[in-house]
Structure 1
Amino acid sequence: MARLDDLEALVDEAVSGNPVFMSIREKNEAVTRLFRLRDRIDGLAMAVVAVSEDVAAEHGARSSADWLAHATRSDYRSAVRSARLGEALVDRWHQLHDALLHGR
């Protein structure tokens, strides 16, 4: 959890600047790197959701997707897709999951 705290602090620092003042080169690099980071974080989040049935049970939810939708205030169908994709990445698509986590 300390690493997530560090990540949040870094994001807080990064959003303090105004992108309108970035050069074309800086915006190009920022966009490509941010999307790669987003994909890596999504891969990690889906992996955690895939093994979070215990969290769902602790909160009285029927499944990790139910819990995810409630905890993140997201659409249920989107939560189901994330949970299923996370399970597939963790259980079957190991190489894809590894590539996603490492930004490849």
Structure 2
Amino acid sequence: MLATNLALVIRPDATFDVIDWPADGATLRTLYTALNCDYVDMVDVSPELSMWLDDSGITIGSPVNIPATNHRGDTIGLTREQCDMVLGIIGIETPTIPHQHTK
């Protein structure tokens, strides 16, 4: 039987897994295993989408997620195309943003 809900695990080396999201309350155990960590933190990306992170990764020397950071490890924003892709995955259409007008 297929799980009703899934989670997408994206690693710093750009590999990924789609895993079953537990319906039995084993959320933390599932996250610890999937992220190979002892502490997690959640960031709401939208009202319908949450992102879970290895909360102690930087302090214990875990690899930096290069696609999500710059060369110093600072978090960087998404490009318009990346935003469109992520929002499209969860079924949200992005509005057309007009170009800036100058006088």
Q: Same fold (TM over 0.5)?
A: no
> TM-score normalised by the shorter chain: which range applies?
under 0.3
When you count strand as a share of all residues, which structure comes out higher? 2
Looking at both structures, which has the greater relative contact order when contacts are Cα pairs under 8 Å and sequence separation is at least 6? 1
